[in-house]
Chains A and B, each alone.
Chain A
Amino acid sequence: MKSVLALVDFSDVTPRVIQHAEAFANAFGAEVVLCHVTPPEPVVVDYAPPVPLKQLEASGPQLEALRDALTLRGVYTRIHSDQGPVANCILEWSRVNQPEIIVMGSHGHGALYNLLVGSVTAGVVKGATSPVMVVPSILKSP
């Protein structure tokens, strides 16, 4: 079955990512795969606070809630959870499953974060074999 991969990180951009993924799924007659990747805790560059255990446990029910909401609106939806380097996990999954399109948010991380950690969005866009839709996290006022 054709699929639309929606990257979910429970940030302010997630509702718009879901909205676009749903529109594509309806238009292409595809299923939505909600993908959540938990990044590994930093080992060497330890400046970011580690992901609290509570947050990890909470992502399961939150994902299921999103899936149920989409299913209620008549979109066939699956969940894909993974842990590891975010961009690599996503690229790996899309190489195998060849989604019609990958929908993700652009993240307004600072220059320092991008330099040290690398931007997930840039990593996915540059490595993907499927089209990638980037939804801006902060909409520029016209």
Chain B
Amino acid sequence: MKNIVVLIDFSDLTFTVLKEVHKIANAFGSHVTLLHAISKQPVVVDIGVFSPTVMQTASPAQAEDESGKLVELCESLGKFGVSATARQIPPCTVEELLDEAQRLGADLIVVGCRGHGPLHQLLAGSLTGDILRHPPCPVVFVPHT
């Protein structure tokens, strides 16, 4: 486990995930890459009686803000003696995200796992489920505790 790729989404789980990554990376002396796909923003479009929600590409300012936070996370891992780099990519699907992780030479992927209810999973799908279908390499799911 020399190359750990961590999927970062800046949620409340991120801290828990990084704690686990720190533990594993320290134990195995691994290099860590923090991978983040810029998130799309929901925008409500007002057309007469309809107000459909449309996902819009993030503004450059937001991308900048997120990349700043990513670098901060990298530095804080560095302070704990873990060699880490950051990689930010445009909004993409789960498959593209996993492909990117493979390109980065991941032999372990770490991701947070939130226990959404069945309705949310039906409507929004679940990242965990998508990864579980075709894991490209061993994946560690860190639970919300």
Contacts and interface: CB of A to CB of B under 8 A. Distances in A.
20 contacts: A23-B28, A27-B24, A27-B27, A27-B28, A119-B132, A122-B132, A125-B113, A128-B143, A129-B145, A131-B20, A131-B141, A131-B142, A132-B140, A134-B132, A134-B138, A134-B141, A135-B135, A135-B138, A136-B138, A140-B136
A130 interface: yes
A121 interface: yes
Interface in B27-64: 27-28
A129 B20 CA distance: 13
B142 A134 contact: no
B122 to A, nearest CB: 13
Given A128-B141, A131-B141, 9 more contacts: A28-B23, A106-B132, A126-B113, A126-B128, A132-B143, A134-B138, A136-B134, A136-B136, A140-B136
Contacts of A121: 132
B143 A129 contact: yes
A79 B128 CA distance: 29
A132 B134 CA distance: 16
B74 to A, nearest CB: 21
Interface residues of A, number: 25
Contacts of A142: 102
Interface in B115-130: 115, 128-129
Chain A interface mostly helix, strand, loop or mixed? mixed
Sorted nearest first, the 7 A-B pairs with minimum C-beta distance are A27-B27, A136-B135, A133-B140, A125-B141, A132-B141, A135-B138, A131-B142
A136 B1 contact: no
Interface in A28-49: 28
Contacts of A126: 113, 115, 128
Contacts of A140: 134, 136
With most chain A CB atoms within 10 A of its CB, the pick from B20, B113, B140 is B140
Interface in A109-142: 119, 121-122, 125-136, 139-140, 142
A78 interface: no
Contacts of A27: 24, 27-28
B97 interface: no
Nearest to A140: B136
Contacts of A28: 23, 27
B3 to A, nearest CB: 13
Nearest to A126: B115
